[in-house]
Amino acid sequence: MVVKAATILFDDNTVDGHVICVVKGTLIGEEELVNGRPWLCSAAASLCIISCVNSLLTIAIIAVNRYLYVCWTAAYDTVFTRRGTVVAVVLTWAAGVALDSPNHVGWSSHSFDAKTQKCLWDRTTAYHYTVFFVVVGMVLPFIVISICYWLIFAHIRLVKQRLLRAQVHPALSLILKLTLTIRTQKR
């Protein structure tokens, strides 16, 4: 019933029908989505890939940002300036485009995946590209994120242990046990 309603609702050939056909393709399949418009599938797949890579790399940059802020304050102040932040953002988008570009130059391709009902890169066209994409676009950011947050955890634990071992007033010791202030200086 939902598929029939979607077909009736979006069966016109207006601009809105073309824009909504991405939603329609998830409901009724490849034929209606790509029918005479392979560029639409390629564009949707590129947007998906670039956004996914950009999202993961942005989270990795945030992890590095937090690591430097907590563990290496002097390095944080020199790396994450306004200019450094703009460069990092531009580089994440450039990396997303660079990771998708092999699909446009023949190393791999975009296609409709019937299993997931989405336009993505064709994982079966070039196994080497799939491995490259997964390692560089997914595993590498995950490793950076994991290492940064583990180092933050280890640093905070070490600082907490040092503070608790120090000879301090009993009331202050209790406060230190309950809270940890890493950096209170305002920018």
* Domain range list for the chain: 1-36, 38-155
Predicted structure pTM score: 0.68
Banded pLDDT at 54 (limits 50, 70, 90): very high
Q: pLDDT averaged over the chain?
A: 75
Which position has the token pair 């050939």? 13
Check whether 92 has a pLDDT greater than 60: yes
Residue 172: per-residue pLDDT: 65
For 117, list phi and psi in degrees, rounded to 5.
60, 40
What integer is the mean pLDDT of 93-115? 80
Nearest to 56 by CA among 144, 116, 121, 118: 144
Percent of the chain scored above 90 by pLDDT? 35
Of residues 145 and 12, which shows the higher confidence score? 145
Whether the Cβ atoms of residue 47 and residue 34 lie closer than 8 Å to each other: no
| Mean pLDDT value across residues 132-136 | 89
Question: What pLDDT is recorded for position 20?
Answer: 42
**Domain 38-155 sits in which CATH superfamily?**
Rhodopsin 7-helix transmembrane proteins (1.20.1070.10)
- Measured in Å, how far apart are the chain's first and last C-alpha atoms? 57
When mean pLDDT is compared across 29-33, 52-56, 79-83, the lowest value belongs to 29-33
Query: 139-145 — which CB contacts under 8 Å span 24+ positions?
Result: 140/60, 141/56, 141/57, 141/59, 141/60, 142/56, 144/60, 144/63, 144/64, 145/59, 145/60, 145/63
Taking residues 76-89, report their average pLDDT.
Answer: 93
Is it the case that residue 14 has pLDDT exceeding 50? no
Question: Per residue in 137-184, pLDDT tens?
Answer: 999 999 999 999 999 999 999 988 887 777 666 666 666 666 554 444
Neighbours of 58 (CB within 10 A): 16
